Homo-oligomer: A and B are copies of this chain.
Amino acid sequence: MLIVMKAEATPQQVEDVCEVIRQLGFKPHPMPGATRTAIGITGNQGAIDPTHFEILPGVGEAIRVSKPYKLVGRDLKHDNTIIRIGEAEIGGAEPVIIAGPCAVESYEQTMEIAEVIADAGVKLFRGGAFKPRTSPYSFQGLGEEGLKILAEARDRFGVKIVTEVLDTETADLVEQYADVMQIGARNMQNFSLLRRVGQSRKPVMLKRGMSATLEEFLLAAEYIMAEGNYNVILCERGVRTFADHTRNTLDLSIVPAVKNRSHLPIIVDPSHGTGKRHKVIPMARGSIAVGADGIMVEVHNHPEHALSDGPQALLPDMFKQMVAEVRAIHRVIAETESLVS
């Protein structure tokens, strides 16, 4: 159920509707839009009688929502969600670029790469302090020491920090240091973790699971939003298929599919999606061309010595080329779209 308030509805009327929803045992989700506020209702098992609400002052209409997701859908909120993190905007007029090493390995490595990133005018710096690893015997990240190094990079270069939260145990720690908390592909349906980051007010970047359908992906975002955190960034990073020429098959067609159904921004990670350096730049260009709101790539100054995922990291020069190319492609789309539409 979705309550769409009239354009002239007052904040008090919105609050009154929310209170009625609470009294019925459900949970209200007021979402202010450009012209009017919509209020999502969650917590109900079946259909709710719309007449409960249609008689309340300020209510425009009460709409049954049949899709399995509500808060992520365009029915509830038509306008694109724009998420602001420091000087960066995700889902806005410009494509966002997030870059950095796969893992924080040392103070020197992190500062060297952060300098490259910041010099290219990039505002969001990524780096893993807690790493999910297939083998229990692989390097698992520097932990809190890694988070402190990231915080220093933020102070020194004015970038904001995107870093992965691996589990609820370390969520408080990560939340304290991160500007954006990343949920990895393996955790896309770790529902306890989704609820935990849903209770945070820090933006969350949610990566698509390795074999997640579009609906499962959106419902994972719904878990986060149902807890009250509406700042969710979706991220395509490739899916598992029979194809063996790349590590994963980057499914760029999910970008227009998400845009069709959801107001949330979606970015693409071509580094994990392909696993090979020479495919990262073409796939980064392709991501922007299909309409993604940005890309996240791995950059390493000495990829041959990287403790994880070296072969897919861009060298600094390749990174600068990529930044130039994706910005140019985005300008073209913006121009042609304004010409035709």
Contacts and interface: CB of A to CB of B under 8 A. Distances in A.
Contact of A246 (B137, B167, B245, B253): B253
Interface string A241-254: 11111100111111
A215 B134 CA distance: 9
Interface in A206-220: 210-211, 213-216, 219
Nearest to A253: B246
Nearest to A191: B132
A283 B253 contact: yes
Size category of the binding interface on chain A: 35 or more
A244 B149 CA distance: 39
A245 B214 contact: yes
A108 interface: no
Contacts of A215: 134
Interface in A66-105: 68-69
A289 B291 contact: no
Interface of A: 42-45, 68-69, 132-137, 166-169, 186-187, 189-193, 210-211, 213-216, 219, 222-223, 226, 239-246, 249-257, 260, 273-274, 278-279, 282-283, 285-291, 321, 324-325, 328-329, 331-333, 335-336, 339-340
